[in-house]
Amino acid sequence: MPDDFVIARNPEEGTTLPYLLRIPLGDEGVVLKTRELWPRTGKAYCHRAVGWPRAPDVVEQVPVRSCVQRGAAIDLVLDRGRENRSQFVMTRIKGGREAIFWQTARTAKQARPAVSIPTARGSGVEELEILVDTRERYAWKFDQQQATTTPRALAAGDYAVGVDGDIAAAVERKSLPDLVATLTSGKMRYVLADLAALPSAAVVVEDRYSSIFKLDRVRPAVVADALGECQARFPQVPIVFCETRALAQEWTYRFLAAAVVHRREIAHVESGVHALPSASASSLAEVRTWARIHGLTVADRGRIGRDVLDAFARRNAQDRVDALRRLPRSG
């Protein structure tokens, strides 16, 4: 039986589970595929692997103090000071398919909000098309919302919506580890700068704000300060903590739908304003005509004096219309 708990890179191409775990249980050990190196922020989904590679690309190898199977769970205790206790729980999910979740005591105790996500259309939009950045890993599917997804290379954000060919809004998705890495590396400023150039944008975090103060590999105050600084520099791009992945997806759907409606309303108002005569700039010919009617001297060509332009500007639209009606018809 293997003595160590080993994590290696999954040689399988195109997989969404990039790591292999070898649990020292049984003659050959139990081999699972997963997406995390450790379940730090939530339960990590695992899937059974065919076997252990002959020449594994080992990422981490840790001695084991205890590894015991108790019913549908495997309790694993590693011989190190931190991140040493975890559990693999085998269960059945919808459709009868087996699912294995890797959890710690902290992630197992995370509260699940007792809410049901509504199925009503976001802002009344019948079928929202959401653009998903082609580089987005583990993308939201929006299969519980009235929306469709289209892959697209986005200049900013991971999810976006368009109106009349232009991006109306975008959302940057962050897990807590990704948020911490982006903040501490200084990259968040550039992310927010790109988002701030859009009509509407937000950063959505799949966790609670309180989780920042439970971090053990970086000082929580450093992360909190960096978060506050970024929000002060870019107040037009809110950073929203949505507690869970499902709620973060729901918030994003509602935000993007509302952004589409808002952008359409703005376009409608702008088109109406441009059609109003009072909003259109008067031509120099109109100014000359008005000036002559009121006995002011103006040249046929060239610049018009500031005093004439100021006098013309003080007149309301009805005055100008009445003056033009009094103009003698030629011919």
What region does 225 belong to: left with phi over 0, alpha with psi -120 to 50, or beta? alpha
* pLDDT per 10-residue tile (average), the chain, 331 residues: 87 93 91 93 88 94 93 91 92 80 76 67 84 92 93 96 94 94 94 95 96 90 96 96 94 96 73 44 73 82 77 58 51 44
Task: Give the end-to-end CA distance of the chain in Å, rounded to a whole number.
Answer: 109
Separation between Cα atoms, residue 145 and residue 141, nearest integer Å: 9
Q: What is the largest CA-CA distance in the chain?
A: 109
Determine the pLDDT at residue 264: 84
Which residue type sits at 70? R
CATH number of 122-274: 3.40.50.10130
- For residues 90 and 72, the answer to whether their CB atoms sit within 8 Å is yes
Determine the pLDDT at residue 175: 92
Tokens 């085998």 correspond to what residue?
90
**Tokens describing residue 93:** 């999910």
- For residues 3 and 24, the answer to whether their CB atoms sit within 8 Å is yes
Can you give the residue ranges of every domain in the chain? 4-107, 122-274, 279-325
- For residues 204 and 171, the answer to whether their CB atoms sit within 8 Å is yes
Comparing C-alpha atoms, which of 31, 27, 30 is closest to residue 12?
Answer: 31
Determine the pLDDT at residue 282: 55
Strand partners, 23: 30
Separation between Cα atoms, residue 109 and residue 118, nearest integer Å: 25
- pTM here is 0.54
**What's phi and psi for 202, nearest 5 deg?**
-160, 160
Separation between Cα atoms, residue 41 and residue 103, nearest integer Å: 9
- For residues 72 and 54, the answer to whether their CB atoms sit within 8 Å is no
What region does 95 belong to: left with phi over 0, alpha with psi -120 to 50, or beta? left
Contacts made by residues 231-236, CB under 8 angstroms, sequence distance 24+: 233/189, 233/192, 234/189, 234/192, 234/193, 234/195, 234/196, 236/196, 236/201
Determine the pLDDT at residue 112: 60
Rounded alpha-carbon distances, angstroms, from residue 207 to 88, 130, 213, 239, 328: 22, 22, 12, 12, 74
Residue 62, CB-side half-sphere exposure with 13 Å CA sphere: 22
User: Would you tell me how many other CB atoms lie within 10 Å of the CB of residue 278?
Assistant: 9
Determine the pLDDT at residue 316: 41
Determine the pLDDT at residue 319: 53
